[in-house]
Amino acid sequence: MTSLRFNRRTPADAEDALPGTLHPVLRRVYLARGITSPRELELGLDRLHSPELLKGIGEAVDLLCGMRESQRRLLIVADFDADGATSCAVAVRGLRLLGFQHVDYLVPNRFEHGYGLTPDIVDIAAQRHPDLIITVDNGISSLEGVARANALGIQVLVTDHHLPGPELPAAAAIVNPNQPGDDFPSKHLAGVGVIFYLLLALRRRLRESGGFARGGIEEPNLAALLDLVALGTVADVVPLDHNNRILVEQGLRRIRAGKCCAGIAALLQVAKRDARHVVASDLGFAVGPRLNAAGRLTEMGRGVECLLSDRPAKALAMACELDALNRERRRIEAEMQAEASLDLAGLEVEPEAVLPAALVLHRSGWHQGVIGILASRIKARYHRPVIVFADGGNGVLKGSARSIAGVHIRDVLERVAVQNAGLILRFGGHAMAAGLTLAAERLEEFEIALCAEVARVAGDELGCGHIVTDGALRADDLALDLARQLQSAGPWGQGFPEPVFDGRFRIASHRVLGGEHLKLTLCPEDDEQRCIDAIAFRQAGVLDTLRSDRLCIAYRLEVNRYRGESRPQLVVEAIREASTVP
């Protein structure tokens, strides 16, 4: 099983020009994330990078302006995850606001069509007679699909953020900050951020050319789309660099002000989140999974329709459907986890040294839409790369991979593919996650090759989990004021992690909530007369293995709002006996 270390972040070794009014803890947190200038804390829209810096944006705007002049038919082709759904909603809403009268969308079915603009999807799209296909959150690797569209006389505009292959599709225009020769400073835009930037550039062109006046429409406020941009950016777990933090923060402000679309409001309602106090983690852990459930279990069209609805009652009804799908997804996931635990039971009694470098699991009947979540759960438990396979039909397995720091899983798959010609039929992804297909009869061969390659590159990281913290807090820092400051100091997320602290505490009391959560009252070691509430989600049994009431914990300091009262609360990430933590 995994051992656990608490490692503390080191503040940036640079001149500190942050405001002197900052709380010392917040200053320490910012410096540990490389923030040394007040400018990096400014999250106004005027601080966004210019759309004109994106390669291909001019050609894309020219193409769209020509389509608008003659009111040609546009068809959005989106990915089937939350980034794809929000990208689709932003494209449809934004283009309509900008004066396009014929805008439709199509989302491929994960199980029938697979990912991206494939030739089959183009043939389905052609039945709607579009003049232009616009891809959102996909398309940069769709060489065959774009070629098929060109053969049918349908132009293609690719908007994407994924890494391109050695060859680009022959599209009429491509907007992707990661394409060769692009000088856009932020390479971490989500798909929804790319299409939003394209709309900004198009609006500017229409303003300067008198397009709004000729069309008899008012220039729209595209900031109205930022709630969707924030949701897609957070849900896709892209790094929150300065540019992305601006997009997310501005979207969160609109949601808190009650200015979000009916679909997001409804999804927050069914998730029992107060929109007035929403933070980025609410989008990532409450709204995003409900939206993703549609693409995982059925088809993402339901999610897109929820985001496009302007009628609160209709949006709420669709949000309830998505919530039900998410509960079903959880049920399926729980069953798969139980089965995976049986398959892994033999490993748990063996010495750590004999565990394979990577874990490969497959059972007939496992759900394709849930294998990625299962891989994430097992990776966290064993702290080594995990690939979970489901049957893909016709003797093919479809796998979802999750990895750990230090093991770039896409590069690992590429090396396995190169060294074993024909073993992997198809693969793609990035450092921490990837997807692949292979023939079912070659699963064992693949597992051997994968484990050998992971063992070669992994070093000493296998089996050792790390929680990175921002150090300790004094007892008098465990207060509501600092909790509020930390909450408002974000948005926190991937690449700009929410502060986690570590410290030693005595358990004053504890009880189990809902059969799986641990509710605690803790007393900090430096002032045991002061107590604070704590909650450890899904850790009900952790105290059973501990021999002392003295703990070292890693935790987040948050605001707990209950029945109109706000109190500080520790959200526990990990618990160990004080004497056992490195």
Is the model's pLDDT at 242 over the cut of 50?
Answer: yes
The CA-atom distances, in angstroms, between 197 and each of 9, 91, 276, 436 are: 34, 11, 27, 31
Per-residue model confidence as pLDDT tens digits over 392-412:
989 999 999 999 988 999 899
Q: What percent of the chain has pLDDT over 90?
A: 77
Q: Is 366 helix (H, G, I), strand (E, B) or coil?
A: coil
Q: What percent of the chain has pLDDT over 70?
A: 96
Is the model's pLDDT at 240 over the cut of 50?
Answer: yes
The CA-atom distances, in angstroms, between 38 and each of 239, 470, 488 are: 20, 20, 16
Q: What's the maximum distance between 2 C-alpha atoms anywhere in the chain?
A: 77
Is the model's pLDDT at 418 over the cut of 90?
Answer: yes
Q: pLDDT at position 4, please?
A: 67
Is the model's pLDDT at 3 over the cut of 80?
Answer: no
DSSP 379-431: HHHH-S-EEEEEE-STTEEEEEEE--TT--HHHHHHHHHHHSTTSEEEEEE-S
Per-residue model confidence as pLDDT tens digits over 176-186:
999 999 999 99
Q: pLDDT at position 111, please?
A: 78
Q: pLDDT at position 373, please?
A: 93
Domains of the chain: 49-322 (3.90.1640.30), 356-462 (3.10.310.30), 467-580 (2.40.50.460)
Q: What is this structure's pTM?
A: 0.91
Burial 87-109 (b: 16+ CB within 10 A, else e): bbbbbbbbbebbbbebbebbbbe
Per-residue model confidence as pLDDT tens digits over 454-497:
999 987 667 666 788 999 999 999 999 999 999 999 999 999 99
